[in-house]
Each structure stands twice: as C-alpha cells, then as structure tokens.
Amino acid sequence: MDERPTVASFFKAAFYLAPALAVLGVFTIYPIFSSLLLSFYADYDYFHDVVYRFGVDNYVYLLHDPSFWQALRNTALFVLGVVPASLALSLGLALLLRQRLPGMAAFRTVYFLPVVTSVVAISVVWRWIFHTDYGLLNYVLSWFGVSPVPWLTSPRWAIPSLIILAIWKSLGYNILIFLAGLSAIPEVYEQAARVDHATAWQRFWHVTFPLLAPTTFFVSVVSVIDAFKVFDEVYALFGGNAGPVRSALTLVFYIFEKFYREQDYAVAAAASYVLFLLTFLLTLLQLWIGRKIAYNR
C-alpha cells in the first residue's frame, strides 16, 4: 500500500505520539539540558533559584581537585581491568557452553544468575568471599601457600577486589550475547575448515573469530560504557564508602558524593558531563576501530 505523508497524517501521528513525547521531554530531555545549564552556574542561590553569574568555574574546579583526578584514575584502571578480561573469559566460556554435552543447559543458567541477582545480594556474598580471616578466596589461596590478602581493608587491594567482582558479574550477559553471535555463524564454514584438516585453534582464529567480530565489537562497546558507570558495586561492597582511605573512589561515586553528601550540585553536574564526554569519545573511537576491523575483514 503506497500511502504518502500529508499534513493531516503528520498531525494525526503527532496526536498519537504526544503523550509519549511529553513524558520523554519532561523526564529525559529537560533534565539533560537543565543539568548542562547547571554545570555552568558559577555563582547561584539554590534555595531561591537565583543565578548571579554563569561561567566555567566548576570545570576549572574539577581540574584542580585531587579527588576528581583520583576518581578518574581509578575509573580508568577499573575499565582496563574489567573489559579485556571479561571479554576474553566470556568468549572462552561461550565457546565451551556451545558444546553439545550433557548438563550444558544447567551451566548456562548458573553463569546467567549474576545478571538477574541484585547487586546488594551479590556484594554481601562477595564481602564474605573477600573476608581476610574467614573468606573463601583467601582459604583457596592458602592451598598454594599465599598469605591472607586484605581485599577490602587495604587501599592496595580495593580496586583489584572491585575488578574481580565486576568481571564475575558481567560474565552472564556477555556470554549470552556471544552465544547468540556464535549460533548465527553458519556451520558450513567450520565444516569446510575441517575438510581442509584445520586444527581447532586454526578454525577459531581464521573462521569463528572473524565472523564473530561484529558481536565482539558490540559487547566491547556495552562493556566499556557499563564499566565507566560503576557505582553500585563500590557502594555495596564497601558499606556506602569509597573503599579504605577512599582508594576505590570512581567518577560516578565522586558525582554521588558531590550531589547528595556535599550538595554541590553545579560541580556534580560538571563532573557528569566530563564523564559523558569521556564515554562518548571512547565510543566514537570504538566505532572507528570497529568499522576498520570488524566490518572490513
């Protein structure tokens, strides 16, 4: 049916979409622009809603705030520690779970459980696992002669413990996406490689991995964005604090402290847009790499 748009059809569609557009505008679009404007409030009276001066003072404050740079450094370490390890483990487990062996459905459920479990419940369990004296992890390490590690009480081990928890929590979702990507690859390619007597590694590296590149690219983009937003794990794992001596302070936790605890709303808004800009630039870089590698092989 060939139905060309007219003025009447435009207003008819706008009438039906108006409720959804109104909700989207009030609760999504307006807060975005309002927070951007708030980040440029250099001198204001929040209680009387009076702005005396606009400027970039809040962004300059961030440049000179050691806590902000510590949060930025910790977030970068967290992203670098979580994303590559999570991608490699997820892909390896997805290849293992794709095998037609008894009990694989149960294993898939076990790996997906962290995705549907609340972060608070997960953190309670991991606080026991990380316990210095009674924790499961130190008990296992003691089999290899390793002394007890103060995972949650030492500033040195706060970020590594956070990375271990985040990797474990992200496995289920990434494995599910990789399994979907693997199921979309026609078996004829692997069968042809078997006919050519290719080894298992050669079949993976020259057949499966290149065909899985778009899926890997998607998972990497989502993982980087999620890693930059880390907050729940820090809050729950360290009892509402940013780790021992604030050693696990991340960018979102910094924004949380500025907004809710210090009520410095303008600085919190400025830090939020710095976080958005970093995530946006990294996503653009990943898109560029993805077009060069994932879609041009």
Report how far residue 62's alpha carbon sits from residue 56's, in angstroms, rounded to the nearest whole number. Answer: 10
pLDDT score, position 296: 58
Angle at 239 between CA 235 and CA 245, to 5 degrees: 85
**In terms of C-beta distances under 8 Å and separation of at least 24 residues, what long-range contacts does 204-208 make, across chains too?**
204/95, 208/95, 208/182
Could you tell me if 51 and 230 are in contact, meaning their C-beta atoms sit under 8 angstroms apart?
no
Averaged confidence pLDDT in the chain? 87
Question: Model pTM?
Answer: 0.85
What residue ranges of the chain are covered by domains with CATH 1.10.3720.10? 59-296
Question: How far from 286 is each of 78, 101, 259, CA to CA, in Å?
Answer: 18, 36, 31
pLDDT score, position 295: 57
Helices (H), the chain: 7-24, 30-38, 57-63, 66-97, 104-116, 119-129, 136-142, 155-183, 187-195, 200-203, 209-211, 213-228, 232-237, 251-256, 265-293
Could you tell me if 275 and 252 are in contact, meaning their C-beta atoms sit under 8 angstroms apart?
yes
* Mean pLDDT to the nearest integer, 44-48: 80
For residue 105, which amino acid is it? A
Residue-wise pLDDT for 157-211, tens only, equals 999 999 999 998 888 889 889 988 888 888 888 888 888 888 888 888 888 888 8
Q: Which of 30-39, 128-137, 239-248, 284-293 has the lowest mean pLDDT?
A: 284-293
| pLDDT > 70? residue 2 | no
CATH architecture, domain defined by 59-296: Orthogonal Bundle (1.10)
pLDDT score, position 237: 87
DSSP symbol at 208: I
Could you tell me if 83 and 220 are in contact, meaning their C-beta atoms sit under 8 angstroms apart?
yes
pLDDT score, position 117: 78
